[in-house]
Amino acid sequence: MNDTVPPQFRGEPLRTLIDFASTGAAGSIRLRGAFGAPRQVLAAQTLDAVRPVLDAAQALAQQGHWCVGYVRYEAAPAFDASLSVHAANAADASEGPLAWFGVYHEMLPWPEPAPEAEVRVDWQAGIAQAEFERSLTEIHRAIADGEVYQVNYTAPLQGRVQGSAHDLFLALLRAQPGGFAACIDTGEEHVLSVSPELFFDWRDDRMLTRPMKGTAPRGATPEQDQALAAALAASAKERAENVMIVDLIRNDLSRVARPFSVRVPRLFQLQSLPSVWQMTSDVEALTREGTTLADVFAALFPCGSVTGAPKVSAMRLIRALEPAPRGVYCGAVGVLQPGGAATFNVPIRTVTLRGHAARCGIGSGITSGATAADEWQEWRHKRAFLDRASQPFELLETLALADGVLRHADAHRARMRQAAAHFGYAWDERHIDDTLNQLVRQHPAGLWRVRLLLTAQGQATAQAFAMPAAPARVRLQLAPSAFEAADSEFVRFKTTRRAHYDALAPTAPGVFDTLLWNRHGEITECTRGNIAVLQGGRWLTPALHCGLLAGVGRDHWLREGRLSEAVLRLDDLRRAEGLAFINSLRGWIDAELETSP
């Protein structure tokens, strides 16, 4: 078979894709390409076969081949029998070789973009919040007793996929770009990793590791985003968590390093991801002559950022608290280039598929200062990449068209442009204008509700629906519980992903909308518009950092000075001198609350 002919032109599907960012190390470049069926497969079904598989992969790479594959977390005892893991269970979704590498003669070009196929995944949490809290209590006990300093605790999400593995991978890659991504098809399972974390980059005798430890959510505004980043950078808890793992990796790396060559050139660097800020540090060394890939794994695997410290004790506690094998998640996924240069990620943000069954782990590092509420929220932030990729969505703007004039058109266009930049959607300003102008020409008179949609590929559509005049006064009901999605990007940006709002839409006769509030007891917005509260003779509207959409009407009245931002709590509703429902579509409508909080 001639490997210089791309498989897509031979009728053979591309089976494996890699998109590894440059690490910044000397000689490192972005690796982006595709592979067909492997010419040879190296697989370890037992612990005693893991090191020989790594030796064989390294030898073949040095002979001029590409090797792409993974090592499962449960392979750890192959390098150190004191490392505790679950035994692989053939009935479990994580069952498979402990190590697997496909061998290829050549990396082929990244495939040309194809029309997007819809892919959906319905995810179910693998752990209840009560169980999560019990596990944190046990970890805190172990920390207090001096058994561990930190434990990386995780749990799986389970899902069913509608669509192809490759389409899901591309959706995941759009949701979590710029890291160390791989889509590996072994024939039995697919590994879809879009991990932002570098495990190690090893070329010649230079070794770079970049542990990622320390997390903060992204902000609702540029100012809040920078404030959250600054708070992460200054956080004593997050820095302590990071430096614990840096010290562990320095110690691990010293096993294969030349004397006095281990150093930490960069500490506490912030990396911006679409849904979170992450803190990373670089640890470097020069490896001793004769060091093999298996030696590197014996020194470093699993990465300390996904175990905790000390590693042996942390993994023992993980084995006791986590009910099932982690699988490829928290193991290593990587590429060996012709000549032997090796780059592996730490496969967080990683989905494995067996048939239509999907599995993805989510976790965080638990230290003495960790609280169950904050860690649970961190897990929600970390799974945001799954929420983006698991259901298709379009960007949405709803405008009023009155007698041939679009109300606040420039502001709606600007807000959609910001959303497109955030989600990585293609944006063509002229195409948007042409779409809206055509609709306006078709509806020169009357009052219309215009629904403008934009796909990921930048295709815009617009529809107009006859709209009655806004009512003079409306009744609102208070949400019965805190709005769990208040910190979601699908709140901060307007899209067709609205199930979290629809679930709280009013059903009682005469109720216009539902007033939402967050877990801190702060008022946020309604499901279809913003809220204004009259207090002390001033109209106030909740601040964006409370978790709400920056409504176009809201921004208009803020600029006019009719509104001011404030943090408003449930108790403030009792003292309110007036309420108003506000949005660009319907304007300013006096409101009353049906029930008191």
pLDDT higher than 70, residue 91: no
Catalytic annotation on 131? Answer: no
Cβ contacts of 369 within 8 Å, gap of 6 or more: 237, 240
Average pLDDT over residues 61-69: 98
pLDDT higher than 70, residue 596: no
d(CA 519, CA 499): 19
Contact 6, 103 (CB under 8 A): no
Residue 436 has what pLDDT? 97
pLDDT higher than 60, residue 391: yes
CATH number, position 494:
3.20.10.10
pLDDT higher than 90, residue 381: no
Asked if residue 486 and residue 502 are part of one domain, the reply reads: yes
- The answer to whether residue 364 is domain-embedded is yes
Asked if residue 372 and residue 248 are part of one domain, the reply reads: yes
Residue 417 has what pLDDT? 96
pLDDT higher than 80, residue 344: yes
Asked if residue 75 and residue 213 are part of one domain, the reply reads: yes
Asked if residue 188 and residue 245 are part of one domain, the reply reads: yes
Mean pLDDT, rounded, of the chain: 92
Q: How many domains is the chain partitioned into structurally? A: 3
SS3 523: strand
d(CA 359, CA 361): 7
Asked if residue 222 and residue 102 are part of one domain, the reply reads: yes
Q: Which residue has the tokens 């067996």?
A: 354
Residue 88 has what pLDDT? 61
Asked if residue 462 and residue 538 are part of one domain, the reply reads: no
Average pLDDT over residues 299-313: 96
Half-sphere exposure of 377 (CA within 13 A, CB side): 18
Average pLDDT over residues 418-437: 93
pLDDT higher than 90, residue 113: no
- The answer to whether residue 400 is domain-embedded is no
Asked if residue 104 and residue 12 are part of one domain, the reply reads: yes
Average pLDDT over residues 170-191: 93
DSSP secondary structure letter of residue 77:
G
Number of residues in the chain: 597
Residue 74 has what pLDDT? 97
d(CA 95, CA 84): 17
Average pLDDT over residues 435-454: 97
Tokens in use for 589? 């409508």
Element at 151 (helix H, strand E): strand 150-162
Contact 72, 98 (CB under 8 A): yes
Place 400 in a pLDDT band, splitting at 50, 70 and 90.
very high
Q: Which domain holds residue 549?
A: 473-593
- Which of 359, 390, 421 finishes a domain? 390
Q: pLDDT digits over 515-539, tens only?
A: 999 999 999 999 999 999 999 999 9
Residue 422 has what pLDDT? 86
What amino acid occupies position 494? K
Calculate what percentage of the chain has a pLDDT beyond 90: 79
- The answer to whether residue 490 is domain-embedded is yes
Contact 434, 418 (CB under 8 A): no
- The answer to whether residue 1 is domain-embedded is no
The single residue of 189, 197, 378, 525 carrying the catalytic annotation is 197
Average pLDDT over residues 244-268: 95
CA dihedral over 491, 499, 358, 165, signed as positive or negative: negative
Q: pLDDT digits over 325-337, tens only?
A: 999 999 999 999 9
Average pLDDT over residues 406-426: 93
Average pLDDT over residues 417-439: 93
Average pLDDT over residues 207-236: 88
Residue 125 has what pLDDT? 83
d(CA 592, CA 581): 9
Residue 10 has what pLDDT? 36
Catalytic annotation on 197? Answer: yes
pLDDT higher than 80, residue 130: yes
The single residue of 118, 131, 138, 213 carrying the catalytic annotation is 213
d(CA 367, CA 390): 31
pTM here is: 0.85
- The answer to whether residue 162 is domain-embedded is yes
Q: pLDDT digits over 551-581, tens only?
A: 999 999 999 999 999 999 999 999 999 999 9
Residue 14 has what pLDDT? 59
